[in-house]
Homo-oligomer: A and B are copies of this chain.
Amino acid sequence: MHSFLNDYSEGAHPKVLQALTESNLRQTCGYGLDPDCQKAADLIRKLCNAPDAAVHFLVGGTQTNLVAIDALLKPYEAVIAASTGHVSRHETGAIEASGHKVCTVSAPDGKLTPELVESVLNDHDGTEHMVSPRFVYISNTTETGTVYNLKELQALRACCDTHGLLLYLDGARLGSAIAAGGPSLPELAALTDAFYIGGTKNGALFGEALVLARPQADFRWYIKRRGAMLAKGRLLGIQFQALLEDGLYFDIARHANELALRLREGVRTLGYPLMVESPSNQQFFILPKTVFSKLTAQGCEFEVEWEKADQVCIRLVTSWATPPAAIDEFLQALAAV
């Protein structure tokens, strides 16, 4: 049976792999200073309508978050994040390992609002006895599959401007967010101080493209100092070109979302509640334990989000690689138990 464990269960989209294969024996210099990274960066600047932005390619999401925070903040400046945020919960203290506090606030649907950001600010007195919250971390889609829309992002931008904060968007699943109606690349480039276009979970073997609204001359020092500079950096440039040069990135995100919504509607029709109304490629369903056990006994694979006495909340993730038949297969299995 198809596994819905993750959107990184397979390798790369065939077109990406083909690009890697075709370029394989070409010689270039290393560390991301090669023509392929240049072209990919130019393409991203064009798609973002941000000719002055800087683009850096990194290998993974946690790495990108920690390098960006390290480079953009002073040591005593802190991150504001939802308590469900990836930097808060799922990075083994990588941000703290670089010396920065992450100030968390509970956000029921995983989304920060100006009010939540200000509640963190109000808890700090501006003196040298406390950290200075400076960096608003959001992700689109969020860790629970919800999606910030343009208006919400604009409101956060305004809040950041009012309080002198940086706005950063973790785009590990940015394709899915955009395909679900979230802010576009030019909107993201205009409204954030930095964001990244996630490749790992949307068609690449690996790779994240970090876009900085304002280039920082020494940014590459921060990359290298964290062991985050890929020797064959061109692998990142080649993949992002393949994903972005003719819209593949968005096509496959749309595919993943469509299957996710079919899954959602199918489960809803069968009468099981959703944990959250997600328009994106992560879906969370609440099942009775007996149903859950029968499904897993049949070999259905997904993650468990939480478990209570009688209920289990499961997460199913779709991707570019999910075959439509897998949706039917899962829904039939669920209907049968």
Q: Return the CB mask of A1-31 against B: 1 if under 8 Å, else 0.
A: 0110110111110100100110111111111
In the bound complex, do residue B132 and residue A231 qualify as a contact, i.e. CB atoms below 8 Å apart?
no
**A70 located at the interface, meaning its Cβ lies under 8 Å from any Cβ of chain B in the complex:** yes
Known contacts being A63-B228, A91-B227, A225-B97, is A27 close to B12, with CB within 8 Å? no
Cβ-defined partner of A17 (8 Å) among B10, B21, B31, B221: B21
**A76 located at the interface, meaning its Cβ lies under 8 Å from any Cβ of chain B in the complex:** yes
CB-nearest residue of chain B relative to A88?
A: B101
Among A123-131, A154-162, A270-278, the one that faces the other chain is A123-131
CB neighbours of A9 from chain B (8 A): 27-30
CB neighbours of A3 from chain B (8 A): 27
**A62 located at the interface, meaning its Cβ lies under 8 Å from any Cβ of chain B in the complex:** yes
In the bound complex, do residue B60 and residue A231 qualify as a contact, i.e. CB atoms below 8 Å apart?
yes
CB neighbours of A131 from chain B (8 A): 92-93, 96
**A66 located at the interface, meaning its Cβ lies under 8 Å from any Cβ of chain B in the complex:** yes
**A256 located at the interface, meaning its Cβ lies under 8 Å from any Cβ of chain B in the complex:** no
Cβ-defined partner of A206 (8 Å) among B61, B226, B231: B231
CB-nearest residue of chain B relative to A58?
A: B227
* Copies of this chain in the oligomer: 4
**A188 located at the interface, meaning its Cβ lies under 8 Å from any Cβ of chain B in the complex:** no
Bound form: Cα–Cα A224–B127 in Å: 10
Cβ-defined partner of A225 (8 Å) among B64, B76, B228, B235: B76
Cβ-defined partner of A66 (8 Å) among B63, B227, B231, B232: B227
Known contacts being A29-B5, A78-B93, is A60 close to B129, with CB within 8 Å? no
CB neighbours of A130 from chain B (8 A): 89-90, 92
**A211 located at the interface, meaning its Cβ lies under 8 Å from any Cβ of chain B in the complex:** no
In the bound complex, do residue A96 and residue B91 qualify as a contact, i.e. CB atoms below 8 Å apart?
no
Give the Cβ gap from A28 to chain B, nearest Cβ, in Å. 6
CB neighbours of A60 from chain B (8 A): 227, 229-231
In the bound complex, do residue A218 and residue B92 qualify as a contact, i.e. CB atoms below 8 Å apart?
no
The residues in A between 98 and 137 inclusive whose CB is less than 8 angstroms from any CB of B are: 99-102, 104, 123, 128-132
In the bound complex, do residue B128 and residue A92 qualify as a contact, i.e. CB atoms below 8 Å apart?
yes
**A74 located at the interface, meaning its Cβ lies under 8 Å from any Cβ of chain B in the complex:** yes
CB neighbours of A48 from chain B (8 A): none
Bound form: Cα–Cα A224–B64 in Å: 13
CB neighbours of A142 from chain B (8 A): none
**A223 located at the interface, meaning its Cβ lies under 8 Å from any Cβ of chain B in the complex:** yes
In the bound complex, do residue B75 and residue A200 qualify as a contact, i.e. CB atoms below 8 Å apart?
no
Give the Cβ gap from A198 to chain B, nearest Cβ, in Å. 10
Highest count of chain B CB atoms <10 Å: which of A2, A14, A76, A227: A227
Name 5 A/B residue pairs within 8 A (Cβ), A-sorted: A2-B27, A5-B27, A60-B229, A128-B220, A129-B224
Chain A contacts to B: CB under 8 angstroms:
2-3, 5-6, 8-12, 14, 17, 20-21, 23-31, 59-67, 70, 74-76, 78, 89-94, 96-97, 99-102, 104, 123, 128-132, 200-201, 205-206, 218, 220-232, 235, 321
Question: Which 8 A-B residue pairs are closest in the complex by CB-CB distance?
Answer: A63-B227, A11-B24, A128-B220, A62-B227, A9-B27, A76-B221, A93-B101, A92-B224
